[in-house]
Structure 1
């Protein structure tokens, strides 16, 4: 099953995803892919101002500084007019180097899916009950990917391959704009045996945990 987490901006999608990943990992499952927490600063009114976006690579949790707000990138001198995000006139400025790093992570996941790792005797004993359950997460696919076929192209390639023997299910984030959820469904749902749109709710959390763990 492909779960499509959608909705408006700043409704808690990434915080919900972080809690889901933590819960699955605590239960022995492995989450592959990426989540995209925001970089925030408290303002003078006590509110919070979003400055940028990091990418947290799963399952290692390595952090890649992924995007900077467009106006800040211009003010700081890091704006590149030739970058994919600049040509697409996005609100967030994403360096092409950051995109390459995240795509390389997904390329490694593709390779791991194609070439199963050999286990030594100790690993076989540790995994006597069977391999860990795995879930694929892509936070997020936006205009670069679903409208322009740019951005996280390797993540899209992995999604197109479907569940196979590696993943119990997958979840991607697509904001409810520019017809992105429907475009994601058209591209990827068939490979996963169907899709379901979800919101960041307790019910969706429990459903996905049950789907991954086979309960």
Structure 2
């Protein structure tokens, strides 16, 4: 199943995902991919939200290792401190966030590693989600246990321009595997139809979800925990 997590900006999608990852781990289900928490500071300036916090940038947390890398910076701040690259993918796409091309490459390398992990597994029809082979033998390698693939998030670079996290898109395009029988991708509302069109063949079973208890229960049920 492909879960497409969507909703307006700053409604807590990544915080909800972080909680889900912890709960799945407690149930013995691993998560791999990337989370994209924001870099927030207290603020009373024009960019402050209703709670008095301002978002300066976005990190990427690589799962399952937990390695954190700076990924994006608000465009006005990047211009002010001289880090804005006019030749970057983000600049050419006129995104509000300036995403460092080297950071994109690092995250793509992470998904390439996950793709290798997925490719050595047997097809999903030869093994159940519990980790048993077709002959009933238990999988002895914990790293091969079925887990949830997470991509936070697929944006305009990936959906409309064929750039950005290309390795994440390539891994999603493989569809369900024994290693990743289920996947979750964060997608903005206005990109959902196009995202589904790109992934429809690979993931005939998919659903749109919001960061709420119903979605959490559906994902837990998919892994039978």
TM-score higher than 0.5: yes
Q: Secondary structure at the match of 1:19?
A: helix
Q: Give the CA deviation at 1:126.
A: 9.5
1:31 corresponds to which residue? 31
Determine whether 1:196 maps to 2:207. yes
From 129, 134, 138, give the equivalent of 2:151: 138
From 185, 192, 203, give the equivalent of 1:181: 192
Q: Give the CA deviation at 1:127.
A: 4.0
- Distance, in Å, in 1 between the alignment partners of 2:204 and 2:161 is 25
- Distance, in Å, in 1 between the alignment partners of 2:114 and 2:204 is 21
Coordinate RMSD, CA, aligned: 2.1
Change over 3 Å in CA distance of 1:139–1:113 after alignment to 2: same
Determine whether 1:20 maps to 2:20. yes
| 1:85/1:94 contact within 8 Å kept | yes
Q: Give the CA deviation at 1:58.
A: 0.6
Determine whether 1:40 maps to 2:40. yes
Change over 3 Å in CA distance of 1:101–1:130 after alignment to 2: closer
Q: Secondary structure at the match of 2:170?
A: helix
- Distance, in Å, in 1 between the alignment partners of 2:142 and 2:36 is 33
2:84 corresponds to which residue? 79
Q: Secondary structure at the match of 2:107?
A: helix
Determine whether 1:162 maps to 2:175. yes
| 1:33/1:106 contact within 8 Å kept | yes
Question: What TM-score do the two structures reach when normalised by structure 1?
Answer: 0.89
Runs of 5+ unmatched residues, structure 1: 117-123
Determine whether 1:8 maps to 2:24. no
Change over 3 Å in CA distance of 1:151–1:129 after alignment to 2: closer
Q: Secondary structure at the match of 1:33?
A: strand
| 2:118/2:180 contact within 8 Å kept | no
Change over 3 Å in CA distance of 1:174–1:130 after alignment to 2: closer
Q: Give the CA deviation at 1:195.
A: 1.2
Of 39-48 and 202-211, more deviation after overlay is shown by 39-48
1:214 corresponds to which residue? 224
| 2:2/2:182 contact within 8 Å kept | yes
Q: Any idea what the Cα deviations from partners look like across 1:148-191, whole Å, max 9, x if unmatched?
A: 001000000000001122212110000112xx111111111332
| 2:30/2:64 contact within 8 Å kept | yes
2:75 corresponds to which residue? 70
Q: Give the CA deviation at 1:192.
A: 2.5
1:121 corresponds to which residue? none
Question: What TM-score do the two structures reach when normalised by structure 2?
Answer: 0.86
- Distance, in Å, in 1 between the alignment partners of 2:74 and 2:143 is 44
Higher helix share: 1
